[in-house]
Chain A
Amino acid sequence: MATLIDLGERPVRELNQALHCTAATSWRVLNPRGAHAVACGVREAHAIDVEGHVGYYCAGMNQHATVTVHGNAGTGVAENMMSGTVRVRGNASQSAGATAHGGLLVIDGDASARCGISMKGADIIVGGSVGHMSAFMGQAGRLVVCGDAGDALGDSLYEARIYVRGTVKSLGADCVEKEMRNEHLTELAELLKAAERDEDPADFRRYGSARQLYHFKVDNATSY
């Protein structure tokens, strides 16, 4: 039986304090009404269902918990997540999964600009499309986009890997399309399965860093 917290009646502070101080259990959060910082900084393997839309930084810096947002998420959902799983049933605003070091972020709908910006090891699967500058300076981890990608995908990419099923409006500096080998099809199939999606990995293209901007050279000045 999940513990019920109604944010229509109690403040977010009370919710987060309870999540920080309680051993792993199940929670249902009602009436979030766009509140910010819902279920952020959680360290235990709680299962948290948020029934509605959330504001900025829901599940920020998550560790171990499974957070499901039954609605849309504002800016920076699961930012700097370290581990665990965050799932958004609706759409996500900007900077979803920003700088996330680990864990799994699934967005069933679309994600806005800068999805996966500076990602550092997390896996992000977007059922719909992503906005411009997604995976900007992505260092590690995988970004899977089942729809389309906006401008400047993977700009200044480090070692993050990107898979896109639809069209890419444009690639950012130093981001190139790469061959889809068997190991990539295998890892993509695993990611799609983890996100409970049924797309065929063979329909995706892979993008990564050309690694031409890893060293600051004057000849590259016009590439930045």
Chain B
Amino acid sequence: MEPASQGLRESATFDRATIHAIQRAAETGIYDIRGWGAKRKLPHFDDLLLLGASMSRYPLEGYRERCDTDVVLGTRHAKQPLRLDTPVTIAGMSFGALSAQAKEALGRGASEAGTSTTTGDGGMTPEERGHSKHLVYQYLPSRYGMNPDDLRAADAIEVVLGQGAKPGGGGMLLGQKITERVAGMRTLPVGIDQRSACRHPDWTGPDDLAIKILELREITDWEKPVYVKVGATRTYYDVKLAVHAGADVVVVDGMQGGTAATQDVFIEHVGIPTLAALPQAVRALQELGVHREVQLIVSGGIRGGADMAKALALGADAVALGTAALIALGDNHPKHDAGYRELGSAAGYFDDYQDGRDPAGISTQDAELSARLDPVEGGRRLANFLRVMTMEAQTLARACGKAHLHHLEPEDLVALTIESAAMARVPLAGTDWIPGAGL
């Protein structure tokens, strides 16, 4: 008999996950490290709705009239900005955290859909470069695998200051994933628990960052767009400083953004939701007079065309996917449920990316597990998903009368909750009230 049917009542404060966490800590004496992003309920794009056209607005015909989707990133300073067919990109995820097959699949899928993918900590693999039409090279504090030849081979450079899952935190790749190849790329002993620094080794603060960006531009002869990626915290100020430092593109990653291995307490309790960060970033760009000149990419919990359309309406130029892209490849698929259960998890719950025993062959370096993921099939699935996202966003944009996804605007949105209205700075549905507006 179910306990609830006996009248037993579960604590909202000490729910089952909390009780388990306390018991686990008491048994092991160490905090929980896991992958994925924040799992708590947060204000998100679901709390916004689009206002379709009716009497006062003129819609576009869904299956006939154009709704363009292209985006150009890096127009401010770069000689060769990125020209993408759709404003949804693949976020940085490392070879090491992910298998070579997964990285190849991400490259294949992104390329087929006409968009970019991104390296991660540990450098660029030939598989990834070879299968990615547009590849963004992350420049991280650890500089593992950092190589000027790869920098020049990239299509854009992303200076990473932080990520939404752990703003202010470095990284950890546990020893079970430090295979000979991963260790060789990172110049580390095989099998050690590898630490990635939280601060860059040769610059501190925004004034230094401006000089660092200058150096990167000089090395690449001012050809490549330079992105600056921040985890969402003090977003208004961070975006302003990134612009002053010379960024072509600012990437803001909200706290729902994923990670390969971070302390659970960090994931759930540091940073702000994507929905709260995005309007701050747009305001910063607008106040500096560079909105649309410095492009804004937003990530952290983007799951489909509706999230994309709403993010663009709030002023983003593009969105980026991490977790959703892995799910498209096959992460948390029911067909792997038995494998997940052997690890003490289940399909739909699996977040032990740090562990290296991923039954889907995605977040692993184990040769046998990795071989389960066919990069061609994975790429096809991802491309399908990206196309569906784009078509979904077009459907919504046409309904709002927009001939380009970038024509969506805050005026097209209302909020379902007071919190989301205050964060997104759009009116509560059915009212003209924006909490905090005019203060």
Docked pose: A98 CA to B142 CA in angstroms: 10
Within 8 A of A (CB), among B82-99: none
Other A-B contacts than A98-B202, A101-B147, A216-B172, 5 sampled, CB-CB below 8 A, are A80-B148, A95-B202, A114-B202, A139-B187, A215-B193
Q: Do B212 and A99 touch across chains, with their CB atoms under 8 A apart?
A: no
Docked pose: A60 CA to B139 CA in angstroms: 14
Asked whether B143 is an interface residue with its Cβ less than 8 Å from the other chain, the reply is yes
Q: Do B215 and A60 touch across chains, with their CB atoms under 8 A apart?
A: yes
Asked whether A52 is an interface residue with its Cβ less than 8 Å from the other chain, the reply is no
Between B186, B211, B222, the greatest number of chain A beta carbons within 10 A of the residue's beta carbon is seen for B211
Q: A57-B211, A79-B202, A114-B201 are in contact. Are A20 and B188 (CB under 8 A)?
A: no
27 A-B pairs with CB atoms under 8 Å apart are: A13-B218, A16-B219, A20-B221, A37-B211, A40-B219, A56-B215, A57-B202, A61-B148, A63-B149, A75-B203, A76-B202, A76-B203, A94-B202, A95-B201, A98-B143, A98-B201, A101-B146, A117-B202, A118-B142, A118-B197, A118-B201, A120-B143, A136-B201, A137-B195, A139-B186, A158-B188, A218-B29
B143 → chain A, closest Cβ, in Å? 4
Report the interface size for chain B: residues with CB under 8 A from the other chain: 34
Chain A: number of interface residues, binned into ranges: 35 or more
- Report B-chain residues with C-beta under 8 Å of the C-beta of A63: 148-149
> When the two chains form the complex, which single residue of A13, A60, A79, A137 contacts B197, counting CB atoms closer than 8 Å?
A137
- Report A-chain residues with C-beta under 8 Å of the C-beta of B61: none
Q: Do B193 and A37 touch across chains, with their CB atoms under 8 A apart?
A: no
Q: Nearest chain-B residue to A209 (Cβ)?
A: B189
Q: Nearest chain-A residue to B193 (Cβ)?
A: A216
In the A-B complex, the 8 residue pairs with the smallest Cβ-Cβ separation, listed nearest first, are: A41-B219, A76-B202, A95-B202, A99-B143, A61-B148, A214-B192, A98-B202, A57-B215
Q: A41-B218, A98-B202 are in contact. Are A57 and B193 (CB under 8 A)?
A: no
- For the residues of A in contact with B, the DSSP-based class is loop
- Report A-chain residues with C-beta under 8 Å of the C-beta of B211: 36-37, 55-57, 75
Give the number of A-B contacts (CB < 8 Å): 104
Asked whether B416 is an interface residue with its Cβ less than 8 Å from the other chain, the reply is no
Docked pose: A158 CA to B196 CA in angstroms: 12
A42 → chain B, closest Cβ, in Å? 9
Q: A60-B219, A80-B148, A137-B197 are in contact. Are A37 and B214 (CB under 8 A)?
A: yes
Q: Do B212 and A57 touch across chains, with their CB atoms under 8 A apart?
A: yes
- Report A-chain residues with C-beta under 8 Å of the C-beta of B339: none
- Report B-chain residues with C-beta under 8 Å of the C-beta of A120: 143, 187
Asked whether A68 is an interface residue with its Cβ less than 8 Å from the other chain, the reply is no
